[in-house]
A and B are shown apart, each in its own frame.
Chain A
Amino acid sequence: MTDSFLRGAAAVVGVSEFHYKRGESPDSELRMTLRAIVEAAADAGVSPREIDGFVSYGGGENDGTVVGSSLMSHRIRWSNMIWGGGGGGAAAAITNAAVAIAAGQAQCVVVYRAMAQQDSGRLGYAKHHFDGHMLPHGVGSPAQACALRTRRMLEHDGVPESAMRSLVLADYFHAQQNPSAAAFGRPLDETGYDASRMIVEPYRLYDCSRENDGAVALILVSADRAEALGPNPAYVLAGSQGAVGGYAVDTENDLDYTSAGFGGTAGVAETLWADAGLGPDQVDVVQVYENFSGSGVAALIDHSLCPPGADAGKVMTVENLTAPHGLLPVNTSGGNLADSFVNGMGLAVEAVRQVRGTSTNQVPDATVSLFIGGPMAAVSSSVLLCTRDVL
């Protein structure tokens, strides 16, 4: 165990998330952001005007001064954006908030993300990446960029396609218990998956994330304040972000091409485990950002939650991946595929619910909860949340 100053210094004490079908939000991103923050503050038991820190990622026009002035914050002390990588910065945003609190730069920090097609269009989180060395070659979307990497993971590394399918089916299985999930009441089995149309090989329709309008907010305060507020804060145990050398925006020349970006010596995953003082075997439940099933599988491999190559198929079974009794329960609200996609931040709320014990697919006695941010992005990030007794 390291003596990281971050360890347990801050905790998530309030959350809110809601979503609409893509393009159907009645509200702008700013109005949804404010609604999510007010709801999260109520959940936390703090006044929205106490919020003095604002963190987001993946773009968006509404920085801390815009949001803070609407909330009539008493003071704005921290207004930060995680640069680059679309959803790659999702977990890093939570770490950023915890750092501000641990370093005394802010006391009550909100992490937020909103997406509305009326404001930022489709794929508004991913527009920056596709240039004259990709578009004329037919690569103009994250699905196509990730498909190239997943193809090699399957064909060269030997990961079986069943690993992808199991992740998809686990998401849909969990969504059947979650009334707010977009796929609630719409179960999916192997036959339905196999029959679905190809989008970009090796991805079928069900391998690809939905896109939703919606907003998410999480409120963090110091550990002392958290204890006073309520019985079940989700403490930030450790957080890691970045890109290992040779893995960044490099026009498909990343050294470890089939990695999701978390791997490598002193990479995001290895740093996370070292800082947390625990390993993948001690994680009770995982929310993995699966923009696409294949990149989600790669992210699990990067975190040593699943072996690489052909052996991945042994761990990646529907039985193993589903709560309450699977060995590696993942995406217990339904994930980006079957619950909703607001740039992946809904997964963070589910990671908090598991620590609180309030998931609709609760893992019994969950104390260590992992949120893995966007894979195959220039910047990737992960964060571990836990109960008080883990610290």
Chain B
Amino acid sequence: MTPSSEVAREFPATLAGPYADGLDLPYWEGLRAGELRLQRCGECGLWIWGPRWMCGQCQVFDPEWVAVEAVGRVFSWSRTWHSFIPELAGELPFITVLVELPHAGGRRVLGLLTEDGDADIAIGDAVSGIIQQPADAPWPLLRWQRAGTPPETEQGEHR
């Protein structure tokens, strides 16, 4: 994927960025390089998300960061009408999707749907990721848009 400066909706991205301790820095650097990167244990192959310092299954530290194809299905979603986050007040309503990634062991990532907030979304809808780099933001963000056919799940187990 190539980071796009064309932002489908003006979602501010100033809330983005790595933790102070750097644990998830490779995730953000991946977005800058045009990739969705998640952690996978080099020892047992377990996909890990959110970011962790070690694989709890085999106690190996510093799981690898692996590029994952940003396609998946909507595992759940919400439509926000109330201004909980002042930076997003101008975008109400908006839809947040929780996306299950078949190419990352069924791990789930959150993201905003680029469509209008009244879109008729449903669990199971196929989505694909796009990386956006708003001009005023320090880090790019992964957003989601509806795709055609849902991809088959490679691995049903989450862990």
- A residues neighboring B (CB under 8 Å): 131-141, 143-144, 147-149, 151-152, 155-156, 197-201, 246, 249-253, 255, 257
Which residue of the partner chain, among B13, B78, B123, B158, contacts A201 with CB atoms under 8 Å?
B78
Which residues of B approach A to under 8 Å, CB–CB? 11-13, 15-19, 24, 49-51, 75-82, 84-85, 88, 93-94, 96, 98, 107-112, 122-123, 141, 158-159
Q: For A251, what are the chain B residues with a Cβ–Cβ distance below 8 Å?
A: 49-50, 108-110
The answer, among B51, B76, B84, for a CB contact under 8 Å with A257, is B76
In the complex the two chains form, is A200's CB within 8 Å of B81's CB?
Answer: yes
CB distance from A255 to the nearest CB of B (A): 6
Task: Please give, as numbers and ranges, the residues of chain A lying within 8 Å of B15 by CB-CB distance.
Answer: 132, 135-136, 140
Could you jot down 20 A-B contacts, CB within 8 Å? A133-B24, A136-B15, A136-B16, A136-B141, A137-B112, A138-B11, A138-B94, A139-B96, A140-B15, A151-B78, A152-B123, A155-B123, A198-B79, A200-B78, A200-B81, A250-B49, A251-B108, A251-B110, A252-B110, A255-B159
Chain B residues contacting A250 (CB-CB under 8 Å) are 49-50
B interface secondary structure, majority = loop
Which of chain A's residues has its CB closest to B94's CB? A138
Measured CB to CB, the closest approach of chain A to B27, in angstroms, equals 8
Counting chain B CB atoms within 10 Å of each CB, the highest count among A138, A156, A200 belongs to A138
Secondary structure of the A contact surface, majority rule: loop
Query: Contacts A133-B24, A148-B96, A199-B81 hold; do A255 and B123 have CB atoms under 8 A apart?
Result: no
Complex CA gap A199/B79 in Å reads 9
Residues from chain A with a CB closer than 8 A to the CB of B12 are 136
A148 CA to B19 CA, complexed, in Å: 24
Interface contact B108-A252, CB-CB below 8 Å: yes
Q: Which residue of A lies closest to B28 (CB)?
A: A132
In the complex the two chains form, is B82's CB within 8 Å of A199's CB? yes
Q: Judge whether B17 and A132 touch: CB under 8 Å.
A: yes
